[in-house]
Structure 1
Amino acid sequence: MHIVDVARMRELEMRADKEYGLNTTILMENAGRSAAELLARYIRERQQRSLNECELLFLIGPGNNGGDGQVMARHLAAEGARINLYRWKERQLICEGREIPAERLEEELNAVLQRVGYVIDALLGTGRSRPLPDDMRALLARVDEERARRPSELLVVAIDLPTGVNADTGEVDPGSIRADLTITLACPKQGFFFFPARAYLGELFVGSIGLPEALERDLSDEMLDASLARRLLPPRPLESNKGTFGRVMLFCGSPPYPGSAYLAGSAVLRVGAGLVTLAVTPDLLPIYASSLHEATYVLLPSGEPGEQLGQAQAQALLEHLSGYRALLIGPGLGRTPTMRTAILTLLDGLRARPEGERPALVIDADGLNNLVEVEEWWRRLPPGTVITPHPGEMSRLLGGTKVSGGGIDRLQVARHCARDWNLILVLKGACTLVSEPGGRLRINWESNPALASAGTGDVLAGMIAGYLAQGLPPFDAASLAVYLHVAASKLVSQRCGDAGLLASDLLPQIPAARLALLQPT
């Protein structure tokens, strides 16, 4: 499902008219019908209600968004719903086909608000970026107050987007109210994935306006959702062995941070890779051998810290890489001159290998933190490398430039850095972005505050490495892992809510999330 900004959406609509004869009236009819079908299905299947039991209030604006709302209202009325229309600009209230006299408008509007189960926000769409008029803000505030009074009985449904949300930047007017559901039309809009807008959309559905698929061929930004993730899943043929699903080498963990390698290594296996090997020093071997029974191990030399030890460790690891399809560097390694030497020596050795003999590379956490102090560090990476910074690490990689955890600035950071550094970038955050040098970009829609917990990034890095070992291209491996990482967290949150998740809680839920993805929808 492609993501568009306002200008691109307008271009698609103009081309639909010019090339296919789909004028505004036709598109509006398609949009309203699709929105009605989606809401009707939600009411029947999710709320277990009949439309005959439902009463709705449509807030109708003066533009195309209001037109979409009127078409939607007509279709829902035909299915038995009781429909009230409030035309904001005209200050006109129509209750089940009967116009209310002006002198009784306020009284009747209050009465309708107090009894309906759904308020449909069809006031303003993507075309407005100016502040909302005071009387529109006041109307929305009345809706919000009534929902606060009846939180389990009144749903606010936005058509295309909540009124006052900027579809390009994610900015939100002070008068905007949060939707419980948003039925966007044709394509999700760019601003939806950035804050504060992301918090205003509620559950997102995408309705059709009948655009021909050919019009979307040149679009490069995609929403990472279940349908896309399902297409990325690697095959699991019956005639398989552990070699079929690939080997992963981990250069992770150190005495202060032993858990990182355990979490990453477990995640490798939980996504279905055939074998994981931890490259560790002898002092750490008993820790891992007693907790990660399924792993094999490569023993690295230990001794006095320094450049010589770093080079020796890297050489020992390089000697054991034959037959491994993926290598993860970074989680829990610590930030020391010795480790920096080891990482740089490893990178030099990887680049020197022919492409067919070089494992796919993921660098996370301290792998990135050690590279920060290396001038033009990105030139040391093999082609196709995946890096997975959180906003703080990304800021350090950019020399101190602030990178937000959820703002629109992340979009250009992801695009430009993947291109300029020639790598696959996983910019973690509430809606994680995955970008690649050729310009393609995917944004994960789902988010979960429970993931703001130590070690969850180590799990994600291991998942990416596990999918690389199974033969997925780096961009797809990163995308699938990002989706399933959040999906697994949602399964945990079904039991414990949005706080208290431990990184290790994710591990048994990863295969469960994959299985759920395979179920028919």
Structure 2
Amino acid sequence: MYPAYIHTQATARNIDHAAIETYRIPSLILMEHAAIESTKIIEKHITIDKSICILCGPGNNGADGLAIARLLQTKYSKLFVVVPEVKNMSEEEKIQFQMIQNLNIEYDYNLPNETYDVYIDCIFGNGLSRDITGFYKAMIQNVNATHSTIISIDMPSGIDATMGNILGCAIHADYTISLDCYKQGQWLNDGKSHCGKLYLVDIGIPQILHQKCMNIIKVLNEEDIHIPDRPLTAHKSTFGKALMIGGSQNMHGAIHMASLSAYKSGIGTLTLMVPECISNILAIKSDFYMLLQCSDRNGTFSSKAIEVLKQNMNNYSILSIGNGMQKNNVTISLVEQVLKSDKKVVLDADALWAAQKNIDLLKRNETTILTPHIKEMSDLTGINITTILSNPFEIARDFSKEYKNCVLILKSSQTYIAHQGNVYVLDAQNAGLAKGGSGDILCGIVVAMLGQCKDPMQAALCATYLHSQSAKLDIDLASFMPEDIINNIPNTLKRLRS
């Protein structure tokens, strides 16, 4: 699979420029590759009896459109091209324009009154930096009003390629074919809804130019996942000794689900540190984990749990905390002790709220994996929810650069996994996961992978992907139960290993 990088407008343009200037790949060659690959996708969706109007703006996105017109004209008998005035064309666009003239492809400088079945948007692409007004604003509004199929090349014209905001007005595409890399604005704000179905095509730019970027943003694919081996000579301690701290009278199910998913995902040994009031319930539910009971007060840990943790945590290689706990001072103190340890740590749920009280402890030397959803990320960092949603790439990247030994798994409809400035995005939206317990299952898988993977980022990537794939079930989304996901982990693991 072609590596799917995501870049800002500036980075994407710099990479394109470097391919031409440093690697001496002519712009017209890249343009031809873009046209060939875009035409393949267009032909998959558009039958040859459909009429097509290609909208070309002034610049190389318009030149891409002219190249596409040249390739489509052999199959589509009703093809029309809108072109800018020659004086406004780039040099490459003038060359492409001469070709369509020589081929007698019909064109004009204005949008025809006739409505076409399909419009291919090559007006502005990735280079737009100002609001659209006048002639092109009217063109975009008229095309949007047709309700015809619209295919955008690289970016829907009018969408900012970095932030995804509308610049005056914007094409509302059914399909967007992104050239060389995804643009960050395709994933953010208005960009998400204006791109329609998103495709990525290789246009021949050397991969090294993407890999050399200081901070990488990449779509998580199966090729990025390396499920750890299970050596035949291994023993249970090889795969981690985990202590899960959590639970309360009202939420004993959370830590139980986390423990089940941890065991199904391969943790070596597992002990649950829980309030005494729920220990009998958990003992009845399962017999594979060990229990470390602590005195309770009003259904949650009492302050005596802090001393119990101090006395026992050196027996474990991984400490996980947060599932089913409550927001109180004891939770804050327990999280503080965990973060002061030299153990690998996983923070989830109310532990994330508690970590904010001593957030500098996240600058610890050992690995910490955090699994917040958007609201928990706001509680942890103090950043407004709206700000996080407007650019989760930047929020995740900046957090992971400040807390260098942390791996962040920021959960939303898309999941962002960040470590030391590099970000992966898991684009696997699944409404079946919009239920209580899904996050606890992910936490358990993270614990298990942290016990097996040497690299903490790989542990987070494996866990997030395994969780997502295990939730791909042939049942109605409303009927998902946490146990359905947990019971599918073994099959998913087997497939990923093979």
Q: TM-score if structure 2 supplies the norm length?
A: 0.84
Q: Does 1:419 find its partner at 2:401?
A: yes
Aligned to 1:210: 204
Aligned to 1:127: 127
User: Unmatched 5+ residue regions in structure 2?
Assistant: 87-96
Mapping 1:446-485, distance limit 5 Å: 446-485=428-467
The CA distance in 2 between the partners of 1:495 and 1:378, in whole Å, is 40
Aligned to 2:244: 250
Q: Does 1:339 find its partner at 2:331?
A: yes
Match for 2:486 among 494, 507, 511? 507
In structure 2, relative to structure 1, the CA distance for the partners of 1:319 and 1:477 (3 Å cut) is: closer
> How many residue pairs were aligned?
478
Which range moved further: 251-260 or 295-304?
295-304
In structure 2, relative to structure 1, the CA distance for the partners of 1:190 and 1:34 (3 Å cut) is: same
In structure 2, relative to structure 1, the CA distance for the partners of 1:28 and 1:395 (3 Å cut) is: same
The CA distance in 2 between the partners of 1:99 and 1:375, in whole Å, is 64
The CA distance in 2 between the partners of 1:365 and 1:412, in whole Å, is 22
In structure 2, relative to structure 1, the CA distance for the partners of 1:16 and 1:181 (3 Å cut) is: same
Aligned to 2:38: 35
User: Unmatched 5+ residue regions in structure 1?
Assistant: 44-48, 148-153, 352-357
Mapping 1:231-380, distance limit 5 Å: 232-235=226-229, 245-292=239-286, 295-303=288-296, 308-318=303-313, 320-321=315-316, 324=317, 326-348=318-340, 350-351=341-342, 358=343, 360-374=344-358, 376-379=360-363
Q: Deviations over 1:88-124 (max 9, x none)?
A: 5359999x95537899x744x32xx2xx3x4322221
Q: Does 1:17 find its partner at 2:23?
A: no
The CA distance in 2 between the partners of 1:515 and 1:31, in whole Å, is 38
Give the conservation status (yes or no) of the 8 Å contact 2:164–2:188.
yes
Give the conservation status (yes or no) of the 8 Å contact 1:434–1:442.
yes
In structure 2, relative to structure 1, the CA distance for the partners of 1:306 and 1:386 (3 Å cut) is: closer
Aligned to 1:394: 377
Give the conservation status (yes or no) of the 8 Å contact 2:294–2:305.
no
Give the conservation status (yes or no) of the 8 Å contact 2:220–2:424.
no
**What amino acid is aligned across from residue 349 of structure 2 in structure 1?**
A
The CA distance in 2 between the partners of 1:18 and 1:301, in whole Å, is 66
Aligned to 1:179: 173
Which range moved further: 311-320 or 240-249?
240-249
Give the conservation status (yes or no) of the 8 Å contact 2:173–2:195.
yes
The SS at the match of 2:28 is helix
Q: TM-score if structure 1 supplies the norm length?
A: 0.80
The SS at the match of 1:126 is helix
In structure 2, relative to structure 1, the CA distance for the partners of 1:54 and 1:506 (3 Å cut) is: farther
Q: Deviations over 1:157-194 (max 9, x none)?
A: 22111111111112124632433322111111122232
The CA distance in 2 between the partners of 1:26 and 1:133, in whole Å, is 32
Give the conservation status (yes or no) of the 8 Å contact 2:84–2:109.
no
Mapping 1:430-441, distance limit 5 Å: 430-437=413-420, 439-441=421-423
Q: Does 1:86 find its partner at 2:81?
A: yes
In structure 2, relative to structure 1, the CA distance for the partners of 1:484 and 1:303 (3 Å cut) is: closer
Q: Deviations over 1:291-338 (max 9, x none)?
A: 345x311222315588751223313541542xx4x3321111212222
Aligned to 1:354: none
In structure 2, relative to structure 1, the CA distance for the partners of 1:504 and 1:143 (3 Å cut) is: farther
Which range moved further: 448-457 or 414-423?
448-457
Give the conservation status (yes or no) of the 8 Å contact 2:165–2:191.
yes
In structure 2, relative to structure 1, the CA distance for the partners of 1:32 and 1:233 (3 Å cut) is: farther
Aligned to 2:8: 5
Cα RMSD after superposing both structures? 3.4
The SS at the match of 1:446 is coil
The SS at the match of 1:260 is helix
**What amino acid is aligned across from residue 355 of structure 2 in structure 1?**
L
In structure 2, relative to structure 1, the CA distance for the partners of 1:270 and 1:341 (3 Å cut) is: same
Please state how far the C-alpha of 1:368 moved relative to its aligned partner: 1.6
Aligned residues: percent identity?
A: 26
